[in-house]
Amino acid sequence: MEPIRYKSIFGITYTLLLATITVWFLLSTFVIVQRYEVVEVSKENTQTLAYTDTTNSTAIGATSEVTTNEATITDTTYADENIQITLHTVNEYDTEVYIADVQVSSVEYLQSAFAENSYGRNISEHTSTIASNHNAILAINGDYYGFRNNGFVLRNGVLYRSTAQSDGTEDLVIYSDGSFAVVDESSTDAEELLNDGAVQIYSFGPSLIVEGELTVDTNSEVSSRSMNSNPRTAIGMIDPQHYIFVVSDGRTSASAGLSLYELATIMQDYGCTVAYNLDGGGSSTMIFNGEVVNNPTSGHGIGERAVSDIIYIGY
């Protein structure tokens, strides 16, 4: 009878150990905050940026890290000497789609920001909160880097993670001249991209357009990450320093959502020569002049879902 007793003890111990490991893995993946680095946001030479709101002719205070600037704002436009943004809302494929046409005088106005100004795992805030903390004029959610242990993370010229995903992930690379490129992460070195002038790398995908040609079809989808029609977020380049930000609604009776192919055709219609799919679903959010312009759908209905990072236009 002794061997049976030992086997029983071993089986119970093994089961408990396996359960403990599983719980720890789930907590580490989805719950436990791991803060690796706090990002210092420079406030040197900060001056008041006077906005002229042509809708109600009132002045709105904000801050900037450049010299005092005069901006003209309406509900759908923003214009100053460095940044011009026009927001369009269209209905395509039974879905409300929000399209921001952006022109900047330098790629320095196309920036990224982390939730809580911290690089790490399971650190998240609403897109609107991160945008507000950085005085963003326009913002969209990024690639949700913080819920993976791998995938390149290069933000504002700083390389935080150089471990590649092994599943053939396509990355969006933004260079210091304002140009976009799409690379195969598994066959690319993040340090080399940085040395070649990359200032941002986003690791989600897939690409939607490369060299003006669609790179997805009606059967394309992000494997295991989403269904066919969903809220979507994407960014595209028409020319260096001329960009398109797109967010769509979805999962509601008013908006079905977009497939990747439908999203790509919209980006192509607006003249994108390169376009890239970012984190979508409940994350998809666009902020313009301090307001949420779309209808994000979290697990609790209409409302923002917290994310790891944003892409934004601002000073």
Contact partners, residue 180, CB within 8 Å, separation at least 6? 172, 173, 174, 236, 237, 240, 274, 276
Whole-angstrom distance, CA of residue 3 vs CA of residue 92? 69
The full DSSP string for 20-87 is: HHHHHHHHHHHT--EEEEEPP---TT-EE-EEEETTT--EE--EESSS--EEEE-SSEEE-SSEEEEE
Model confidence over 279-314: pLDDT tens digits? 999 999 999 999 999 999 976 678 999 999 999 999
Q: Give the count of beta carbons closer than 10 Å to the beta carbon of residue 147.
A: 15
pTM assigned to the model: 0.83
Give the confidence band of 212 by pLDDT, cuts at 50, 70, 90.
very high
Position 37 scores a pLDDT of 76
Amino acid at 253: S
Domain spans, the chain: 1-32, 79-313
Model confidence over 111-165: pLDDT tens digits? 999 999 999 999 999 999 999 999 999 999 999 999 889 999 999 999 999 999 9
Q: How far is CA 212 from CA 1, 178, 265, in A?
A: 74, 17, 11
Average pLDDT over residues 262-274: 98
Whether residue 198 is predicted with pLDDT greater than 90 in this model: the reply is yes
- The distance from CA 256 to its chain's CA centroid, rounded to whole angstroms, is 21
**pLDDT mean across residues, the chain:** 86
Whether residue 40 is predicted with pLDDT greater than 80 in this model: the reply is no
Whether residue 184 is predicted with pLDDT greater than 60 in this model: the reply is yes
Q: Which tokens hold the place of 17?
A: 């150990």
Least confident range from 26-40, 44-58, 290-304: namely 44-58
Whole-angstrom distance, CA of residue 225 vs CA of residue 209? 20
